[in-house]
Amino acid sequence: MKIVVLVKHVPDAAADRGFNESDHTTDRAGVDGILSELDEYAVEEALKLSDSGEADVIAVTMGPDGALDAIKRSLQMGAASGVHVVDDALHGSDAVATSKVLAAAISKLGDVNLVLTGMASTDGGMSVVPAMLAERLGFAHIGFVGELGFADGKVSARRDADVTETVEASLPAVVSVTDQINEPRYPSFKGIMAAKKKPVETWSLADLGVDAGSVGLSAAWSVVEAVTARPERTQGEIVTDEGDGGVKVAEYLAGQKFI
Amino acid sequence: MAEILVLVDHVDGAVRKTTTELLTIARRIGEPAAVFLGSGYEAARDTLARFGAVKVYVAESPEFDDYLVAPHAEVLAQIASTAQPSAVLVTSNPDGKEIAGRLAVKLESGVITDAVDVDSDLTTTQSVFAGGYTVNARVTQGTAIITVKPNAVTPEPAETTPVEEKVAVTISDAAKRAKVVARTARAATGRPELTEAAIVVSGGRGTGGEFGPVEALADALGGAVGASRAAVDSGWYPHSHQVGQTGKTVSPQLYIAAGISGAIQHRAGMQTSKTIVVVNKDAEAPIFSMADFGVVGDLHTVLRQATEEIEKRKG
Ligand SMILES: Cc1cc2nc3c(=O)[nH]c(=O)nc-3n(C[C@H](O)[C@H](O)[C@H](O)COP(=O)(O)OP(=O)(O)OC[C@H]3O[C@@H](n4cnc5c(N)ncnc54)[C@H](O)[C@@H]3O)c2cc1C
Ligand SMILES: Nc1ncnc2c1ncn2[C@@H]1O[C@H](COP(=O)(O)O)[C@@H](O)[C@H]1O
């Protein structure tokens, strides 16, 4: 079985994230990047499948030079190989364009049975790329999966959306997983050493046959007009409980007309 | 005036509050036209009329329930290509986002997710990076496809007599790939829906697993109960109540955080709450920096006393 796991390199949420002033795109240079934490669950799920059977796990990313780190981390965790789609024309791409490029990369790999993704990227956080990929590739799509199983060439999944659903789909399929599905492993020393020898391909838009004019900021189908930092919340009154803390809470709530 | 399609979010015809919010927004922009997919339209009709749907596209079929939402996207795209609306509004939840993503590809249109407001000129407002920034954006290609978060506006009734247009439903095999084998509705709690509630009381690791005081305070205030991921991961409260990046986003009038430290992933889900009250025994807990009012103390005693005092005041 051929499994593609989509990994995105994002600004670390623990750092002070921001935007480029000139074009309102996410600042990817000024903040340390990491493998999107929610994609680690997708990598882990792919590795669990390859640990228990015959599966070839390929980590795929689209992003600037630094995005290679997301591939490296996936290889250290245990993925067999990686693909890095990088091209200057990609800067500022929206989700529609991202899905177009990733779909082209998956098609180029050929005979992919399963595409695993995170439930959302921790920067853009739209949760739409997986559904767009399924739409473009004609694959089945199951989003927000909290438990995944295989039997008779089918995926079965527990989906933790608004209600709990048990879903079945035939392959090929795109499955996005939540942080409920597993506990991602840390790369072992052996894994880190082994990763250095694993193959990584670098593909440009030309390699994928995608027109550079159809992606990037100028071709985006939505535009950010303004970005405003939210004013810090100002701290109100903090009291220490001296036996009357609960009464004080009630007094405050009554003063604010909540009672 | 161009139509604004509003996809009706419903369970067997019981229309969710978010749909009435979307109809209220649609009225600002153009002519609200509801799209009803699934079964139970009879039960939905009055609500859609009350909140100003000038037209309703009714695609009734029990088949929708047998699959995930690919068929919804297919029929919605079919309706949109004849109606030529200037926008399609969809509720921002997992199903809504899948529909929006598929629709963007099908209609070759731009998509914006998680709007907390939409102007009459279709400029959207979003809250990003854990609530640290406000972004204004707009779709520049095709039909504006926008998913809107719950509680974006207060629903305002505007009685109409909608024109009903029946739509024949044919679902392609391609849209039938993900079959729903079983569906378990969440057990009713008798409390308001978390994302819709005006008041939310949340408990974290500091509860030590005892959610009784959190629930009692929520009930005294008529609020919903939330939980941090630490509390959910410990098995103390169901995942459907998790507030934060990988749980629900809430934006209530009042958010009470008890025994929660205030990690960025938790703040991402509650940062836009109007008033925040904190109870935590550690005066250094980062969540205090967001508090409008805070008590440094043990939540078990403080919440119990607060509940008693509130009951006393209510008389
Ligand atoms: C990818 C990812 C996604 C995540 N998504 C979410 C999410 O959606 N939602 C979320 O909440 N977290 C999320 N997290 C986890 C988050 O980082 C924190 O670990 C979590 O929010 C901590 O929960 P907590 O505040 O309850 O626990 P802790 O951080 O352990 O804090 C417990 C607090 O309780 C206080 N306390 C202890 N005993 C008492 C007492 N008796 N009375 C009063 N106070 C007491 C302590 O002082 C402390 O401040 C995510 C993490 C990752 C990596
Ligand atoms: N540039 C990218 N490279 C690789 N994977 C991506 C990229 N963008 C999105 N994805 C995948 O799609 C998922 C959802 O992303 P999003 O729709 O942006 O929230 C992520 O968790 C990733 O698995």
Q: Comparing A134-138, A148-152, A192-196, B32-36, which segment has the lowest mean pLDDT?
A: A148-152
Fold agreement between B3-176 and B194-314: yes
CATH fold of B3-176 reads Rossmann fold (3.40.50)
Which ligand 1 atom is the nearest neighbour of the CA of B285?
49
pLDDT score at B202: 98
Percent of chain B clearing pLDDT 70 (strictly above): 100
Q: What is the mean pLDDT of residues A60-77?
A: 97
**A63 CB less than 6 Å from ligand 2?**
yes
- B50-105 confidence digits (pLDDT tens): 999 999 999 999 999 999 999 999 999 999 999 999 999 999 999 999 999 999 99
| CATH superfamily name and code, A2-219 | HUPs (3.40.50.620)
- A140-188 confidence digits (pLDDT tens): 999 999 999 988 889 999 997 778 899 999 999 999 999 999 999 999 9
- Report the separation in Å between the CA atom of A11 and the middle of ligand 1, taken as the mean of its atom positions: 22
Which ligand 1 atom is the nearest neighbour of the CA of A37?
1
- B195-207 confidence digits (pLDDT tens): 989 999 999 999 9
How far is A105 from A85, CA to CA, in rounded Å? 8
Phi/psi zone of residue A24: left (φ > 0), alpha (ψ -120 to 50 degrees), beta? Answer: left
Ligand 1 pocket test target in B245, B249, B267, B303 with most atoms within 8 Å of CB: B245
pLDDT score at A102: 98
Q: What is the mean pLDDT of residues B19-29?
A: 98
How far is B94 from A178, CA to CA, in rounded Å? 11
pLDDT score at A32: 84
Q: Do B295 and A238 touch (CB under 8 A)?
A: yes
Q: What is the mean pLDDT of residues A13-26?
A: 83
Q: Is the pLDDT of residue B241 over 80?
A: yes
Q: Give this prediction's pTM.
A: 0.95
Angstrom CA distances, B293 to A246, A247, A250, stand at 12, 13, 11
Domain ranges in chain B are 3-176, 194-314
Ligand 2 pocket test target in A129, A141, A215 with most atoms within 8 Å of CB: A129
How far is A173 from B313, CA to CA, in rounded Å? 57
- B169-219 confidence digits (pLDDT tens): 999 999 999 999 999 877 778 999 999 899 999 999 999 999 999 999 999
pLDDT score at B309: 98
How far is A186 from A11, CA to CA, in rounded Å? 20
pLDDT score at A204: 98
pLDDT score at B264: 92
- B147-165 confidence digits (pLDDT tens): 999 989 999 999 999 999 9
Which ligand 2 atom is the nearest neighbour of the CA of B101?
17
User: What would the DSSP string read from start to end of A133-154?
Assistant: HHHHHT-EEEEEEEEEEEETTE
pLDDT score at B185: 79
How far is A166 from B183, CA to CA, in rounded Å? 6
A254 interfacial to chain B (CB closer than 8 Å): yes
- Report the separation in Å between the CA atom of A126 and the middle of ligand 2, taken as the mean of its atom positions: 9
Q: Do A228 and B133 touch (CB under 8 A)?
A: yes
pLDDT score at B200: 98
Q: Do A130 and B101 touch (CB under 8 A)?
A: yes
How far is B144 from B191, CA to CA, in rounded Å? 35
Closest Cα to atom 12 of ligand 2: A129
Between positions 66 and 125 of A, the ones with CB within 8 A of B are 94-96, 99, 119-120, 122-123, 125
3-state secondary structure of B127: strand
A40 interfacial to chain B (CB closer than 8 Å): no
- Report the separation in Å between the CA atom of A151 and the middle of ligand 1, taken as the mean of its atom positions: 37
Q: Is the pLDDT of residue A20 over 90?
A: no
Q: Which ligand is nearest to the CA of B246?
A: 1
Q: Is the pLDDT of residue A230 over 90?
A: no
Q: Is the pLDDT of residue A103 over 90?
A: yes
Q: What is the mean pLDDT of residues B219-230?
A: 98
ipTM: 0.94
For residue A43, what pLDDT band results from cuts at 50, 70 and 90?
very high
For residue A232, what pLDDT band results from cuts at 50, 70 and 90?
confident
A31 interfacial to chain B (CB closer than 8 Å): no
Percent of chain B clearing pLDDT 90 (strictly above): 92
Q: Is the pLDDT of residue A15 over 90?
A: no
Q: Identify which of B271, B253, B272 has the alpha carbon closest to the alpha carbon of residue B262.
A: B271
pLDDT score at B256: 98
Dihedral (CA of B38, B40, B45, B48) sign = negative
Tokens of A192: 């880190």
Q: Do A247 and B305 touch (CB under 8 A)?
A: yes
Q: Do B301 and A94 touch (CB under 8 A)?
A: no
**B205 CB less than 6 Å from ligand 1?**
yes
State chain B's mean pLDDT as an integer.
96
State chain A's mean pLDDT as an integer.
94
Q: Is the pLDDT of residue B3 over 80?
A: yes
Q: Do B93 and A163 touch (CB under 8 A)?
A: no
- Give which of B76, B121, B125, B245 to mutate to test A binding, by max A Cβ within 10 Å: B245
Tokens of A218: 């100028």
Q: What is the mean pLDDT of residues B15-29?
A: 97
How far is A196 from B46, CA to CA, in rounded Å? 64
**A12 CB less than 6 Å from ligand 1?**
no
Shortest Cα distance, chain B CAs vs residue A177, angstroms = 11
CATH architecture assignment, domain B194-314: 3-Layer(aba) Sandwich (3.40)
Q: Do A13 and B264 touch (CB under 8 A)?
A: yes
